[in-house]
Amino acid sequence: MSSNKDLNPIPTITEIDRIAAIQDPIIRSLQITQCYHELSAALAERNGLSANWCTFATWASKQAGQTIRKEDLVRSLENILNTEPTVTQAVRNVVTTTHHIGGKHDLPGIDETVLDILNPFEAIDRASNAVGRGNKKVFEEIGREFARFFSTCLHSASYDADTIMRFCDELRPGDPPDGQHYLAQAFRRYYQSFFEGDAKKRTELILLANIEIGFHEQTRLQPEIAESLNASIIDPAHFMQSLIKAISPSRSWFSRILLTVSQLLGRLKTVDAAIDTLITTARQKARLVITEYLMTLNLPHERLRLGKDLTIGFPESLRELTNTDLRALLDRIDPTPNSLHETGAVGWANLPDRLHFIIDLFRCYQESKDLFDPPFTADQVTAIKNGHPPGGRL
């Protein structure tokens, strides 16, 4: 295998820390993706083209970057809110019921005003922020440990138990989210794989390490994933206050009087009901759009829907598993250890459901050489490393 060390030097701990400290979430996510690619290539230099955790992280991070940049998200949601019959009917109901509370009935384009107040795009902002924080959270922990592993273990000429023990001793004991036991286990597997002469045994060690890191990563990411999928639309009470201001004369004292009188007369009940229906409907549509983006993974030559069962099948080297630790782990966390049945994740915010898909994704695609393709063009990499948004399609 030819070396790319001159083009892509092995990332250092200092480089990981620098990238994690970047304040611009878009530039940071682009540099994280490129760094994962370089970490993946460094391990492949030692272990061959068998996809490691960083290989998969490259494409997951690139996909996350689209959500962070909100590419097409706003346009997709705007189109649904303007054309979906359930939403447009809910908007009309709100507009109609506002006549019960007086105010400016002749306000032009009140339906557009209702949508402006609803401002569902704040949900996309919140989802984008949650994904960005999750991307950073994983990189500054796991990416940093890969850099540390490479600096101490990558170039060992022979197996040295003391070397890998010293590395693992710096990791926290215990299970995730706080402990790093699975990371320690995974890096022991990677280190052992450097010196394993049997190709099948080496492949299974790498798969086991990938799954152990994936288990740790997904457990740690649970709060951010749940938050991104549950990014809510505007609070109904805040919506009501904004609506009152919009349909009444500009003097705030009149708005307060109008709201008080309407409450006393019981006229707000129908408005409240209409607003609740609108916000519930808009929230459902926003969640569908956001989920669609979060549950899509673009690989170099394939687009995966994470809610659909994987169909590629296991590679020959991983159809029958012999590693006892690997088999025991799959028996514990994979509902269908040797089948792709029901691998599609019904609920991405559900950790066991998500892990089921990811475990089989790792196993199915571990021997896919195209996963080592660069995620960006050479010109894009130059711009990204210089801290500038690159041109072209990302």
Rounded Cα gap, residues 142 and 16, in angstroms: 10
Residue 85 lies in a domain: yes
Which H or E element spans position 318?
A: none
Looking from the CA of 42 toward its CB, the CA atoms found within 13 Å total: 25
Facing residues of 296 across strands? Answer: 305
Give the pair of three-digit tokens for residue 286.
């926003």
Rounded Cα gap, residues 326 and 60, in angstroms: 23
Report pLDDT for 376.
Answer: 97
Residue 390 lies in a domain: no
Residue 237 lies in a domain: yes
Report pLDDT for 75.
Answer: 73
Residue 392 lies in a domain: no
pLDDT band at 327 (very low <50, low <70, confident <90, very high): very high
Residue 288 lies in a domain: yes
Q: Which has the higher per-residue pLDDT, 385 or 255? A: 385
Length of the chain: 394
pLDDT band at 32 (very low <50, low <70, confident <90, very high): very high
Domains in the chain, number: 1
Rounded Cα gap, residues 388 and 394, in angstroms: 13
Residue type, 237: A
Report pLDDT for 383.
Answer: 97
Is the per-residue pLDDT at 72 higher than 80?
no
Q: Render pLDDT for 236-273 as a digit per residue (tens, 0 to 9).
A: 777 777 776 666 655 454 445 455 544 444 455 677 78
Kindly report which listed range (76-80, 102-106, 197-201) carries the lowest average pLDDT score: 102-106
Contact predicate 364/315, CB 8 Å: yes
Contact predicate 51/36, CB 8 Å: no
Q: Which structural domain range is residue 338 located in? A: 13-385
Contact predicate 94/278, CB 8 Å: yes
